[in-house]
Structure formats: C-alpha cells, structure tokens
Amino acid sequence: MNQKGFEPKIIGFLCTWCSYTGADMAGTSRMKYPSNIVIVRVMCSGRIDPTFVLKAFQDGADGVLIAGCHPGDCHYINGNMKTMRRYPLMVKLLEGFGIEKERIRLEWVSAAEGEKFSTVVKDFTAKVKKIGPLNWSVQAGVSKEASSPGLKEARL
C-alpha cells in the first residue's frame, strides 16, 4: 500500500455547544490544525447515531472523530452520557467489521479548549495516516447499490 502522500479523510461530528465552539475557538485564536477533518455540526454528541459513523466509513472516510461536552457539562443534561455508553460498543462492532479501533476516537472538548481541539485533530490525523487508507468499498469488495433502481410502480 502506498502511504506516501496519503492524506486521510476524517469526519468530525462535533456537538454545537462545546466542541464546535471549541473548534471555533481554535480558529479565532489562529491555532493550526490539519485540514483533513471535515466537521459536521450536530446539536448534541448524543445525536450521533452509530448509523452516521458506519455511513461515513462506507462513503470513504478513513477516520471518525466524535467530540462532545465534558461529562456533566451537557447542554441537554445527559446527552453525552449516551455517547459515552454507545462509544465502546461502536468500537467493538467496528473491530468486528475489521476496522481498526484507531480509526475512531471520542474526545471531550469544551468551548474554551481550542488548543485541545487542535492537538486532538493533529494527533488523530497523524495516527490515521500511519494506519493508511481504509477505502471501504474496495477493501470489502462491495460497491454501493441503490435499492430498487429503475422501478417506479408495480403492475400486475
């Protein structure tokens, strides 16, 4: 596998109240972090359905970062606790699919932790870069097929 010049594609699901604001903080403070991360803002880290993560990997992501408020700080009282419970299970499941656990990461980033966000993204990008591309549709030998293409109505 040619890993030279490989730039991983990383999807970051950030909660709007803490982590997204934290990422903003990194930006306004002129802190640098790799542009490999594509940020998707969600209302709460508890809103991150495991379907989103699977879909990201299917569509070609090499890594997925989930970030939310620190435990106890959730805007919705306990949304991030749901994430905390879901995350280890998600890692277990992905390992079952043959996706390395280093490709997914959960971090608590508060609105003030711009620096932490930038460090996390740098570190995560470097680690994913080291493992190499995931390229799911090729690795698993499956291409995406649309369900029921070309059928508009059924007639007897």
- Alpha carbon 98 to its chain's center: 17
Q: Which strand ranges, in their side-by-side order, compose the sheet holding 10-15?
A: 37-42, 10-15, 63-68, 104-108
Task: Work out whether 98 is an interface residue with other proteins (CB under 8 A).
Answer: yes
Give me the least distance between CB of 111 and other proteins, in Å please. 21
Compute and round to an integer the Cα radius of gyration of the chain.
Answer: 17
Give the one residue of 92, 101, 102, 130 binding other proteins; rule: CB under 8 A: 92
Tell me: does residue 2 bind other proteins (CB under 8 A): no
Q: Is 71 in the site for other proteins (CB under 8 A)?
A: yes
CA-wise closest residue to 34 among 10, 16, 54: 10
Consecutive H or E run containing 15: strand 10-15
Q: Is 96 in the site for other proteins (CB under 8 A)?
A: yes
Identify the residue among 24, 27, 31, 58 touching other proteins (CB under 8 A): 58
The answer to the question of residue 35 lying near other proteins (CB under 8 A) is: no
Q: Where are the beta strands (DSSP E) in 20-123?
A: 37-42, 63-68, 104-108
Given the rule CB under 8 A, which residues bind other proteins? 1, 49-51, 53-55, 57-58, 71, 78, 81-82, 84-86, 88-90, 92-93, 96-99, 136, 139-142, 145, 147-156
